Amino acid sequence: MSLTLDQSEGIASASGLMRLERPLRLDSGARLDGVEIAFQTYGRLNATRSNAVLVCHALTGDQHVASTHPVTGKPGWWDRVIGPGRPLDPERHFIVCANVLGGCMGSTGPSSINPQTGQPFGLTFPVITIADMVRAQTMLIEALGIESLFCVIGGSMGGMQVLQWAADYPERVFSAVCIAATARHSAQNIAFHEVGRQAIMADPDWRGGDYTRQGARPQKGLAVARMAAHITYLSEAALQRKFGRELQRDGLSWGFDADFQVESYLRHQGSSFVDRFDANSYLYITRAMDYFDLAAPSGGVLAQAFRGLASTPFFVMSFTSDWLYPTSESRIIVRALNAAGAKASFVEIESDKGHDAFMLDEPVMYAALQGFMGATGAARGLP
């Protein structure tokens, strides 16, 4: 394991790269050897190793949850939640965030070198699942000397990982927070992902997934995929409030330039995304989300997946304007937790910001998280 210490964010933090000692066996039946997981930590592990919090990131996120992103130079995607006096406090918690298996910010994925060929994996990389991502995370957590996590927390795809952790490793999870997520991907969400994947694969520079070796990049296809997905992260109210039908300039172009501000915004989202994300990683991670169905191994009964969680405090949160993973999906999770005898709390937060609300300025969410982390911290014996 390599670690680089960093005090530039004003808190004790470290960037790490862990090479897993054991082969990683995947749900597909494939095996990956020499898997590397890139991760970031904030704070310090206490003497009893009881204050570790694992933050799980969403589809287009990465391990730079509260650090300046090395590619974009932007603040961490959840720095509103992590920091002194905030719900996840590096002065109290040892916070870990890992780039998921299949990612493109240092963890083993399709852009990594296949040790058997000396070339990038491309489409020879095996298809992965959310459970595979979590399996890799458990090996990282073990290597860090942590037997039990104080909390596993995440939103969107991060929330899926939280549910998988709780279902597969209940003895390693003291508490869990699932935000704006679902227990299985809907047909609508699979459809949106397929549009994005087809946009990437239709780009001539995709080269059958072999673009890295051939010195090409399917930037246009990936940008369109990002544009389509980004619409689902917002709400109609948010789009109307931010842009309405405002024009970019005086008058119409009478052509197909970005006449409207919302068009320019989406084009910017697409063009900036290609600088920090790998197209094949987008294919693999969206497919992992599509395959996600937590109840499937338990005969389709979600409560059975949660049967080991009777002593685990669980907090589920949703947002009123989230139409990607609506509140109805969170209620299904809560009802299953209740049926399994788990200690489940639930809050639906009034917001017009859509699915992305969990990463934006939402004081009610911060206050709810602060209360939950304080109460469970006291139960854990944390100061």
- Report pTM: 0.96
One pLDDT digit (tens) per residue for the chain, 383 residues: 665 656 545 577 899 999 999 999 999 999 999 999 999 999 999 999 999 999 999 999 999 999 999 999 999 999 999 999 999 999 999 999 999 999 999 999 999 999 999 999 999 999 999 999 999 999 999 999 999 999 999 999 999 999 999 999 999 999 999 999 999 999 999 999 999 999 999 999 999 999 999 999 999 999 999 999 999 999 999 999 989 998 998 889 899 989 899 999 999 999 999 999 999 999 999 999 999 999 999 999 999 999 989 889 999 999 999 999 999 999 999 999 999 999 999 999 999 999 999 999 999 999 999 999 999 999 999 98
Helix pair 279-291, 157-168: axis angle to 10 deg: 50
Q: Which residues are catalytic?
A: 156, 322, 355
Domains annotated for the chain, with CATH where assigned, are 2-185+293-380 (3.40.50.1820), 189-287 (1.10.1740.110)
Residue type, 292: F
Tokens read off for 178? 């699932």
pLDDT at 12: 78
Beta strands in the chain (DSSP E): 2-6, 13-19, 24-25, 31-32, 36-42, 52-56, 94-98, 113-114, 119-120, 151-155, 176-179, 313-319, 343-349
pLDDT at 7: 52
CA torsion through residues 288, 173, 321, 363, sign: negative
Task: Output the CA–CA distances (angstroms, integers) from residue 55 to 95, 179, 223, 296, in the order listed.
Answer: 7, 12, 27, 25
pLDDT at 2: 62
pLDDT at 6: 61
End-to-end CA distance of the chain: 30
What is d(CA 19, CA 36) in angstroms, rounded to the nearest whole number? 4
Residue type, 68: T
